[in-house]
Every structure is written in structure tokens, then in C-alpha cells.
Amino acid sequence: MPTTVLIFLVFVRIGAMFIAAPFFGHTTVPVKLRILFAILLAFSIASFARPPLDVPVDTSLGLAVAVAIEISTGLIIGFIAQFLFWTVQFAAEILGFQMGLSLAQVYNPIEGLASNPIGRFLSLGLLLVFIFLDGPQQMIRALVYSFEVVPLAGGNVAATSDILLRLGGELFSTGVTLASPFIASFLLIEFTLGIFARVVPQADLFSLGLPLKLLAGLGLTYLLSESLFAAFPSLIDRIINTILSAIQTMTVL
């Protein structure tokens, strides 16, 4: 196989991972910088990348199939890492809704969408922890490992469906687990306001409840943020192990 084609397929997998992965796919990272970094990595990794097995890349159709497989392989690696940030964002959305911050949406540069301020705070905090714990370097190592075990245009992408479905289920369960202290606290607040409404029917619960929930939510965030951030390293390690497991699943023997 021509060396240029091999380097191109390596570049496609790297570029696809950079699009989907956290930190690399951050909207504040210039696209030209991503492309340059992907090209440099492609030339560095191409020397030990496994060549295609059965895909005839010397034809237009075969090359198109190879590119599609490489794009899917890179996107899966990146999206698995992104599940961690979606989990935290989901927990933050639950918290923000309970606090009444769904009325105060701000731009989240990580997701590229509007989110409540608590969601932005937790997402940026997780991104900092991800960087401090060498998350980007671990992503690069996992990517390099994928070229060692998964041949170019030979990734069994369909085999990772079980892993992606499991991550989708864990997204909601882990998100609710992270938000559970806040959910229980706001349930008690709602219960207290309900009793207060029965005792003082003429009271304006909206005027009383909204600032009370906001103050309680900010106080709980301050008290529990240390516990939340302490849970992030284990989540990062788990997601990296899941990426390695998915890469092994895609291996075609």
C-alpha cells in the first residue's frame, strides 16, 4: 500500500478522535491547530500502524470504505471519553433545574450549547481535573494503542455497540447518583414549603421558594463540591479503561 494512503488513513482516525474527544474537540482550540497536531501525529504513528487487511484501498470505493471505517473508529474513541462530560452535564442540569437556574442559561464553551451556571462550573472543573490528571496524554496513548492492535480500515465498529449502550445507561444512573444529595435536599425543602403553605395559605410561595432554593443550592454546591471533584479521578480512570476495552473489542483477528 502506498505510504501516502497509509498516512492519510492514520490522519483520518486521529482527526475523527480530535473532533469528538474532550479537550481536543474544545471549541476554543483552533481548527488549524488541531489539523496541524493531527498531521504531526499521523507522520509519527504511521511507521507502526497495521496496514489494511481485506479492504482494497487502491480503488476509489475501497478507499471510501476505509475512510468511513477510520472515521467511525476515531469517533467512537472520542465519544466514549465525552460520555464522562455528558454525565456531569446531566447531573448539573438536574441540579440547575431544582435551583431554578433553568431560567438563567449561559453559553457553555465545552458543549457549545447553553447551560445553567452550575453546569458550566462543573464542566469547567471536570475539564481542569481531566487536564491535571493527564487525561489528554492518556487519550493519545489510547489512540496510539488502537493503531497497534486495530488494523487500518479493519476496526470491528459494530462490536462496540454493547459498550456504547451500557455507557448510555450509566450516563443517567451516574448523573442521578452525583446529583442525589441535591435531589434529597431539595425534596426536604419542597416538603417544608408544602407544610408552610398549609400553615400560611396567603404566603407567596414563588417569591419565598425561588430564593430559598437558590441559596440552598449554592450552599450545597459549596459544601459538596469537594466530594464531587474527588469523584472525578475515579470516573476518568474508568472511562479510560472503557476506551481500552472498546479498542480491544474492535480488534479483528
What is the mean predicted confidence (pLDDT) over 10-24? 90
Q: Could you say which DSSP state residue 57 is in?
A: T
Report pLDDT for 103. Answer: 59
Q: Which three cell numbers stand for residue 237?
A: 480512570
Is the predicted pLDDT of residue 110 greater than 80, yes or no? no
pLDDT tier at 113, thresholds 50, 70, 90: low
- Say how many domains are in the chain: 1
Residues in the chain: 253
Query: Percent of the chain at pLDDT above 90?
Result: 11
Domain that holds residue 133: 3-250
What gap in Å lies between CA 253 and CA 238, rounded to an integer? 26
- Alpha-helical (H) ranges within 21-160 are 31-45, 60-99, 117-132, 135-149
Report pLDDT for 101. Answer: 67
Q: What is the pTM of this model?
A: 0.81
Report pLDDT for 16. Answer: 92
Contacts of residue 142, defined as CB under 8 A and 6 or more positions apart, other chains included, come to 77, 240, 243, 244, 247
Lowest mean pLDDT among 28-32, 34-38, 134-138: 28-32
What is the mean predicted confidence (pLDDT) over 108-129? 71
What is the mean predicted confidence (pLDDT) over 45-66? 77
Residue predicted with more confidence, 106 or 214: 214
What gap in Å lies between CA 3 and CA 45, rounded to an integer? 12
Range with the largest mean pLDDT of 27-41, 51-65, 108-122: 27-41
Residue predicted with more confidence, 100 or 181: 181
Is the predicted pLDDT of residue 53 greater than 70, yes or no? no
